[in-house]
Each structure stands twice: as structure tokens, then as C-alpha cells.
Amino acid sequence: MDLLSILQIFDSAVRLATPLLFACLAGLFSERAGIFDIGLEGKILISAFFSAGVAVLTGSIWLGLIAGLAGSVLFSAMHGLASITFRGNQLISGVALNFLASGLTVLIGEAWFGLGGRSPGLKNAERFLPIELPFAESLSGVPIFGPIYKELISGHTLLVYVALLAVPLSWFVLYRTRFGLRLRAVGENPAAVDTAGISVIKLRYAAMLIAGILCGLAGIYLATGLGAGFGKEMSAGRGYIALAALIFAKWRPWYALGATMLFGLLEAVANRYQNIDLGGFIVPVQFMQALPYIMTVIILAGIVGAAIPPRAGGQPYVKER
């Protein structure tokens, strides 16, 4: 395999890992604050639908971006209302949101476009296009660095670079700011935070807002960056894979980058090599396509090692009187 083929695989891995990375960071903020967010899948789906749908109707990707973020933040607020204010079961609330998104996208999509829940294909002005970084073409002849810069670093859409920048930003917010310290404390010992005179409710809602924005970006990229329109159930389990990646990453931003890139690489390899010959034994295409999901099951089975979630995760906080 030559360098160009390797770079093309890694380039595809970065593109495929981007929605997972956004969703994984969304789950990171949510679960660090003590809110388990099974509803990542639903938020990705609803934001993908509204971003593509509004972009088609208005002809503007930026209005589509706003609509996608609004849809995801609304779903995140609903999850917060059920889990934080009404102290409901967080897992059931998240699953309910996934079912709601699955039904709403088809219902509204059929009413808007009459295409069985799909949106029409997006034109150039209605989606995010690849960005060629400075000197990408002129440096392409430089040995090793040139192809890496041109094929792997340059040529991605805006949201890919936003996702990569979100990793150090998330690390800084969580580990180098007062807000991040309090957010992590809420996920470990909310009673101590409350005793210090800090609102547990406000911090958890703030975490849900951040999670809604990040998850919205995942769906927006899926429909308007990676793809060129919305398709029925196009999230395809990415919310659940992001949760598995979060466990694999042990709720840390930099580890989340590595975990999601691993999933992206598995999917990229599966897409490029439909059949692999291992000394006469042909690996079936179905196995290759199932690789990311098999990895998810392996991680959730605990084979990668113990991953200890925030101690107060999944527990509604009841203020002592």
C-alpha cells in the first residue's frame, strides 16, 4: 500500500470520525455533570433533519445551521427538564427522545418534501464545502509533508476543523476554568457543591446546553458536510457509538479524540475494503461493515478495562432542607 492510499484512508477516517467526536464531547459534558445522555442519537438525528430541511427551504446553509442547533438544544432542554427538574429516569428520558426524533423527522419530512422522510439533495450554497488551506497545491510536491498537508490536513469542511479545535477547548474548560471544576464536582458530589452555595441545577442545565450545541454540530455536519441532504435514520447508531467511545475514553477530551478516530478508521477501512483475502479466506463484506458496531460491543462488555463513570452520574439531585 502506497503513501497516497494510506493518506486517503486516514482522510476518510477524519471525516467519518467528526460527528462521533462532536457527540462524544457532548456526552462528556453531560455525564461530567451527572446526566447520562442516551438521547445523543435523537439529537444528532433531529439536528441533521432541521439543518438540511431549512437549508433546502431557504437556500442558506447558515440558516440551516441555526435551525439544526435550535432543534438539538430544544431536545437537550427537554432531556434536562425530565432529568433535572422532574428528576425522572435519565435513561428512559433519553430513549424516549430517540424515538421522538425518529418519528418526527419522518413525519415532518414527508409533510415538507413528500419524499418519504428524506430531504432533496443540497446545492453548494446549502451545504458546507471543503476548504483548501493555503499553499496546499504548491506544497504537494514536497516529499512526505506535501501529500500529508494536501490530502490529510487540507480539504476538509469548516466543521471538521471546529471539531478538532473543540477538543483542546473542552479540555481547557473542564480542567482550567472555575466553571469546569464546578461542573466536574457536580458529577462527583453535588451535595458538596450545593453546600458551597453553588446551584447544582444551573450547572447541570449549562452542561445540557453545551451538549445540545455539540450534538447539534454532529447532526449538521452529518447532513450538510459529510452528506448532501437528510436521509431517514441517517444517524445510524452514531449516538450509541459515541457513548461507547466516551466510555473507552474514560470521560477525558483527548482520549475522546483518539477513541472516535479509532471508530472512524474502522469505518473507513470497512468502506474501502469490502472484501479482504486472508490467505484464501475471504472476510465477508457484512463483517467489514459491522466492524464499528462490533468494537462498540467489545467496549461496552468491559474488555478494554474498567471505566469508572462520575459517581453521581444518573442520580437526580434532591436538595436537603
CB of 234 within 8 A of CB of 41? no
Lowest mean pLDDT among 79-88, 178-187, 220-229, 294-303: 294-303
Residue 77 CA to chain centroid, in angstroms?
A: 17
Query: Across the chain, what does the average pLDDT equal?
Result: 89
Residue 125 lies in a domain: yes
Distance CA 84, CA 206 (A): 11
Residue 315 lies in a domain: no
pLDDT at residue 319, as a whole number: 75
pLDDT at residue 2, as a whole number: 75
pLDDT at residue 278, as a whole number: 63
Specify the number of domains making up the chain.
Answer: 1
- Cα dist. 52→33, 196, 223, 234, 306 in Å? 31, 45, 6, 12, 39
CB of 198 within 8 A of CB of 206? no
Residue 254 lies in a domain: no
Distance CA 246, CA 234 (A): 21
pLDDT at residue 277, as a whole number: 62
Residue 277 lies in a domain: no
Residue 158 lies in a domain: yes
pLDDT at 4 over 90: no
> Which pTM value belongs to this model?
0.93
Residue 314 lies in a domain: no
Range of the domain at 136: 3-238
Residue 114 lies in a domain: yes
pLDDT digits 0-9 by tens, 257-299: 998 998 898 888 888 776 666 666 666 777 777 777 777 777 6
Residue 309 lies in a domain: no
CB of 46 within 8 A of CB of 105? yes
Over range 126-147, report the average pLDDT: 86
pLDDT digits 0-9 by tens, 150-206: 889 999 999 999 999 999 999 999 999 999 999 999 999 999 999 888 999 999 999
CB of 31 within 8 A of CB of 251? yes
**Residue whose C-alpha is closest to residue 75's, from 101, 111, 105, 57:** 101
